Amino acid sequence: MITIPVKLGERSYDVAVGDGARELLADALSSAVPSAGRVAVVTQADIGIEVDPGLPREIFTVPDGEGAKSLSTIEGLCRGFARFGLTRGDAVVAVGGGVVTDLAGFAAASYHRGMAYVNVATTLLAQVDAAIGGKTGVNIPEGKNLVGAFWQPSAVLCDTATLSTLPEREWASGRGEMAKYAFLAVPEGSQPDASLIDLPLDEQVARCAQIKADVVSADEREGDRRMVLNYGHTLAHALEASSFGPNGSTDLRHGEAVAIGLVFAAMLARRLDRIDDDRVALHRRVVGAFDLRGDLPEGADPEALVSYMGRDKKAHHDLTFVLDGPRGVEPVRGIDEGEVLATLAEMASRS
């Protein structure tokens, strides 16, 4: 078992990575939440992963897909917690992927104004990214993850055995986040590459978790440095948000959208003379090595995408992107809308 500490003072916790990590749940709860007398387990019907919290429990199921990440789902969970008799001294356990950890974490942050929760991450996306760091939230029609809270889990258990039955597109979703990490924490003098996928699976997950833990420990509430974890996400979130409405037709998993966002960010950085053509080509090669595509979906509306980008949580009444450059990946504010539209048009012409 590989253990990665997330160092946040009194809110510190460990991420356990390895085959059978979910079997540590009862010990993790008794250590982190000794007052707990009962547990609310939040999951989805098709996950099929059982856990033993070592305490009386009730299972709460939430719908599948990004559409489940809504305020109405949070209300339903909290009302269910109340009927179950959950107190502030009890605990919530999330068993699932990023949708489940976002919902369970936000419900835990809201119910009784904050109670303990533990993430048992069952997808590659959740294990390398979503379950770690305490960012919880839901979507509204105006954008993705616009309502939520920073609320750190008491422990994160990444059981790599649960990944054996993942559908291929769920693997792709996780690989999109892994491709992002290929451009973060690159040793000085080295080039980003896809060598991460050559490691044993538990080491792949642990490497990504360590990078995220280091960034979160330095900047818990996304003051500046943590924004680098959103590399590729500004366009990705806009693509996802554009699919929420009744006319939405884009079928993209989160990581697939991130891969497109990484290529877009590279092309925008080149347009702004931050990087050269070779660096853009490197982004395409890395994304391709993770078996992902970097093309803009057919029919994407640039004007609508820019509108969603303006509501992105990084924005401060401007267009803010995380871009590659001479100092590596960093947030860049005040990007001209015309440059963004021109980059989207260039991407569309290549699709």
Q: Are residues 173 and 297 in the same domain?
A: yes
Q: What percent of the chain has pLDDT over 70?
A: 96
Q: What is the pLDDT of residue 77?
A: 98
Residues 245 and 285 in one domain: yes
CATH number of the domain enclosing 324: 1.20.1090.10
Q: What is the pLDDT of residue 226?
A: 86
pLDDT at 243 (0 to 100): 75
Mean pLDDT of the chain: 93
Last residue of a domain, one of 136, 165, 194: 165
- Given 165, 198, 226, which residue is the final one in a domain? 165
Do residues 25 and 120 touch, judged by C-beta distance below 8 A?
A: yes
Shared-domain flag, residues 13 and 128? yes
How many distinct structural domains can be found in the chain? 2
Residue range 161-165: mean pLDDT, rounded: 93
- Are 210 and 312 within one domain? yes
Averaged pLDDT, 135-149: 91
Is the predicted pLDDT of residue 317 greater than 70, yes or no?
Answer: no
Instruction: Kindly list the catalytic residues.
Output: 113, 135, 177, 212, 222, 226, 230, 233, 237, 254
Boundaries of domain holding 262: 168-350
Place 315 in a pLDDT band, splitting at 50, 70 and 90. Answer: low
Judge if 84 and 151 occupy the same domain.
yes
How many CB atoms within 10 Å of residue 1?
Answer: 15
Examine the domain organization and report whether 128 and 233 are in the same domain: no
Report pLDDT for 200: 95
pLDDT band at 292 (very low <50, low <70, confident <90, very high): very high
Which pLDDT tens digit goes with each residue over 265-287? 999 999 999 999 999 999 999 99
pLDDT of 217 above 70: yes
- Taking residues 69-79, what's their average pLDDT? 97
Segment 114-133 shows an average pLDDT of 97
Whether residue 192 sits in one domain with residue 150: no
Provide, rounded to the nearest whole percent, the portion of the chain with pLDDT above 90: 81
179 and 158 in a common domain: no
Is the model more confident about 130 or about 244?
130
Handedness of CA 167, 171, 174, 180 (dihedral sign): negative
The residue-averaged pLDDT of 331-351 equals 91
Residue 186, pLDDT score: 80
**Which one of 112, 141, 165 terminates a domain?**
165
Same domain membership, residue 152 and residue 35:
yes
Question: What integer pLDDT is reported at residue 100 of this predicted model?
Answer: 98
Residue 128 shares a structural domain with residue 156: yes
Mark whether 141 and 208 lie in a shared domain: no
pLDDT at 296: 93
Span 126-149, average pLDDT: 93
Question: Are residues 306 and 255 both part of a single domain?
Answer: yes
pLDDT value for 313 = 59
Q: Is 71 left (phi over 0), alpha (psi -120 to 50) or beta?
A: alpha
pLDDT at 350: 76
